[in-house]
């Protein structure tokens, strides 16, 4: 784990389809203690390998701006962001960016995109960062059925002990 990963606060976990639509990705939005926003792919329902490294949102935006005027955004533009060598990394990140409405598909183009204004995304992240509520699942309470079953097991073991004496 890098230092970034040790200090990352996961703000949101969501799912989206890959660009091909063949599998489902789980991605996370995180922030460091100094409020640097990051994204990463954390799961893939398909068999494709990927890197789960955190990529800073600012680095993603800088990569998107490197394209020439009028040039479409493709997965190749995002390859330099990753240390990992999987060919899926940039396509999976692009799928998450599409889901987050940071890019949108060009008309009649399957794998070509154009950037969108990141303000809506950043506003959403700002709300998540200011939220003091941790996203934890509340502990399960035992149901009446569970309690009754436990009582029956206990009663049975007590009666066995009495019979054995």
| Residue found under tokens 């709300």 | 127
The proportion of the chain whose per-residue pLDDT surpasses 70, expressed as a percent, equals: 75
Q: Is the pLDDT of residue 58 over 60?
A: yes
C-alpha distances in angstroms, 133 versus 1, 10, 12, 44, 136? 25, 12, 12, 27, 9
β-strand partners of 24: 17
Q: Is the pLDDT of residue 143 over 90?
A: no
Of 112, 136, 111, 121, whose CA–CA distance to 39 is shortest? 121
Task: State both tokens at 119.
Answer: 């303000």
**pTM for this predicted structure:** 0.74
Q: Cα angle vertex 85, ends 93, 49, to 5°?
A: 65
Of 22, 9, 10, 11, whose CA–CA distance to 92 is shortest? 22
- The per-residue pLDDT for 64 is 92
Distance of CA 160 to the CA centre of its chain: 51
Query: Which residues fall within 8 angstroms of residue 107, CB to CB, at 6 or more apart?
Result: none
Residue-wise pLDDT for 81-136, tens only, equals 998 778 889 999 999 999 999 999 999 887 899 999 999 999 999 999 887 545 44
Query: Which residues fall within 8 angstroms of residue 104, CB to CB, at 6 or more apart?
Result: 98, 113, 114, 116
Query: Which residues fall within 8 angstroms of residue 69, CB to CB, at 6 or more apart?
Result: none
- The helix/strand/coil state of 15 is strand
């Amino acid at each position: 784990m890098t230092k970034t990963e040790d200090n990352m606060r996961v703000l949101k976990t969501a799912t989206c389809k890959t660009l091909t639509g063949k599998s489902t990705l789980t991605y996370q939005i995180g922030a460091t203690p100094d409020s640097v926003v990051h994204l990463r792919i954390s799961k893939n329902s398909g068999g494709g390998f990927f890197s789960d490294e955190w990529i800073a949102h600012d680095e993603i935006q800088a990569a998107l701006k490197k394209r020439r005027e009028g040039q479409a955004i493709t997965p190749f533009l995002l390859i330099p962001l990753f240390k990992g060598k999987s060919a899926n990394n940039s396509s999976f990140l692009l799928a998450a960016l599409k889901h987050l409405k940071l890019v949108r598909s060009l008309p009649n183009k399957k794998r070509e995109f154009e950037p969108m204004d990141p303000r809506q995304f950043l506003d959403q992240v700002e709300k998540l960062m200011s939220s003091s509520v941790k996203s934890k699942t509340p502990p399960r309470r035992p149901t009446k059925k569970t309690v009754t079953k436990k009582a029956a097991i206990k009663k049975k073991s007590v009666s066995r002990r009495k019979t054995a004496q």
